[in-house]
Structure 1
């Protein structure tokens, strides 16, 4: 039987804050209603395979509950073996599993099709959408039906604030860096925020991690601080392991590296810029990275991110995007960006007068 890891209170709080909550009406219209009419169920789970919502035919719902196919239960490969939700999450692709192909005997009465859903801003896995029931659940049209609903949901998420369902590290434009998930959020010390930023940036780029001396030099600016770094890491691990906000985030050693992904606002901005989505990058960019930090590693990332945003906007930004950029504190005296905005801005644009007045101040 699939383990039930979320009690009702935790589940309800988690569902309220999960990004897929925002697109439930789309799944209800495009998938749940047709599934119920066909005697099937639709399950929506998170990136760890925990089912958050299960809806559809009433009779099949009761049967599924007896097999622990219900909200709060975990249907990952690690927890329950082969199933369509677990397979889709493990492979990142659509999957179909017929009744007796399930590893768990309790699931042999059902067939299922499932596909992953991702954050359209970052590509990060948000969860899985599953269709379960009799052989109609694995019919030829079942997987395309799921994928069409997912495409509609991802299109809706595209115009919403970028969120992923992962613990979020907030470091841009704030003197109070935070780490938080769906259930809780807490402030970090500047030192802990610096370490997590460096580890998160490394995971998104090389993924090789850092030795104690290398990380100490990036944080303290000189060699000889390995002992201080190890002590700081002990404190950081203690905080992460005792925090509901961290939601499973930990730091491995030799080399130092994150054990699981986090949704880091700085990384998300760079990902959006790489994809050519300047609007999303501006939505996410709240200002300079950890503005109170003087750590050499943070200064390098801060300058790189600010330069990448500016260069992308100067090269291809629209008038509206450039105007938004010019509202940032770091761009107040950026004359090149201001003249570029005026050059691409329509003569009749209401933004033009405001920009000209600003340049004359």
Structure 2
């Protein structure tokens, strides 16, 4: 998805910015504006107004302390790409008027880069490291609205809900983990409203793609190092070596796809083609070998108000609660059989439309972290050798 410009083609930037401020005054004042707000702005304002936020001034800010910011930075995969993002924005001729901000998935600002002048202006808004920049805290803004809409957003002047943000533009795009589809955070470029350039959206999109590409490259490098280290251990199969998230670095005697369920010490993991396996920790990953001669994996899904999933392969297995959404996905996949479901079809099945592809992919990713290769992709379906029985419950 690309960032759509906040300035319509052919419109003069200063004139349009003034019109947007008048639009804000009219809508908040209860009258009809000459320029109606864009649909995404209307949706956001409706959400913000329902939360009781005020438009005339600055709502109370919420932030986390410095040690929590450091903890979140250390735990974020985006720490590996922040220097690259700095270079992308710093290489532009207008970088002195820009503020680069990177948040985590909660909208907490973890990194902020820019000239001292633009940072001082941002300070007056509470647009600082550690601050939570979600719609529920600061109203309509590119970061919070990108999180709420699960899409790239550009806002200008009066499209911001708070009047104190009207002197600004902001352009933001969510960044996802290319391995799992999980939301990692948001990249945002902001600056004085009248310095907005048509290329800002492309700059943010470039930064987002660079981040996701670099994360994927780093992931492949880690798997290759794990493969080289573990190759002597896999002299005889069948067996797999996987990383801490279940991504397959090397396999002998079995084709298990790209990923299995994330291993945990002492817990049986089911791998189609291998059956029940007991992972053994090695260096930065796990050695996965069969714990039983049975190769068929059997699932029992009990649709109680709190769904329970049981897994059995031979004499070993486990039983654990799963979310109702994951239970519904499994039921849909079981009904689809070997034909499976595309992301679009699963979105229609779960939500009644094709507008929830990001949500669907994230939910399936979380389910695959639990079950691994038991759920195939392209299309989504239960893997070969997996049998599932659904019990309707009460």
TM-score, normalisation: structure 2: 0.46
1:93 to 142, 151, 175: 151
1:81 to 124, 132, 139: 139
Q: Is the 8 A contact 2:118 2:191 kept in 1?
A: yes
1:172 to 228, 246, 262: 262
2:223 pairs with 1:130: no
Distance in 2 between the 1:209 and 1:113 partners?
45
- Secondary structure in 1 matching 2:185: strand
2:13 pairs with 1:13: no
1:139 alignment counterpart: 197
2:269 pairs with 1:211: no
How far the C-alpha of 1:12 sits from its partner, in A, is 0.8
Q: Write out aligned runs for 1:25-174 (5 A).
A: 25-34=83-92, 37-135=95-193, 138-161=196-219, 172-174=262-264
- Secondary structure in 2 matching 1:68: coil
Distance in 2 between the 1:43 and 1:209 partners?
45
Greater share of helix residues, 1 or 2? 1
Distance in 2 between the 1:82 and 1:151 partners?
25
- Secondary structure in 2 matching 1:157: helix
How far the C-alpha of 1:79 sits from its partner, in A, is 2.0
Distance 1:157 1:212, change over 3 A: same
How far the C-alpha of 1:251 sits from its partner, in A, is 7.4
How far the C-alpha of 1:11 sits from its partner, in A, is 0.7
Q: Is the 8 A contact 1:35 1:56 kept in 2?
A: no
How far the C-alpha of 1:174 sits from its partner, in A, is 2.9
2:377 pairs with 1:274: yes
Greater share of strand residues, 1 or 2? 2
Q: Is the 8 A contact 1:113 1:138 kept in 2?
A: no
How far the C-alpha of 1:264 sits from its partner, in A, is 6.6
- Secondary structure in 1 matching 2:87: helix
Distance in 1 between the 2:72 and 2:305 partners?
36
Alignment length, in residue pairs? 218
Distance 1:99 1:265, change over 3 A: same
Distance 1:219 1:99, change over 3 A: same
Q: Is the 8 A contact 2:307 2:323 kept in 1?
A: no
Distance in 2 between the 1:157 and 1:144 partners?
20
Distance in 2 between the 1:36 and 1:15 partners?
27
How far the C-alpha of 1:63 sits from its partner, in A, is 1.4
- Secondary structure in 2 matching 1:67: coil
Q: Is the 8 A contact 2:375 2:383 kept in 1?
A: no
Distance in 1 between the 2:75 and 2:199 partners?
32
Distance 1:268 1:13, change over 3 A: farther
Distance in 2 between the 1:35 and 1:111 partners?
17
Which ranges of structure 1 fall in alignment gaps of 5 or more residues?
Answer: 178-207, 222-228, 234-249, 277-300, 309-361
Q: Is the 8 A contact 1:2 1:69 kept in 2?
A: no
Q: Is the 8 A contact 1:49 1:74 kept in 2?
A: yes
How far the C-alpha of 1:273 sits from its partner, in A, is 5.8
How far the C-alpha of 1:84 sits from its partner, in A, is 0.8
How far the C-alpha of 1:37 sits from its partner, in A, is 3.2
Q: Is the 8 A contact 1:32 1:55 kept in 2?
A: no
**Deviations for 1:338-361, whole angstroms, at most 9, x for unmatched residues?**
xxxxxxxxxxxxxxxxxxxxxxxx
Distance 1:135 1:66, change over 3 A: closer
Distance in 1 between the 2:212 and 2:108 partners?
20
Q: Is the 8 A contact 1:3 1:73 kept in 2?
A: yes
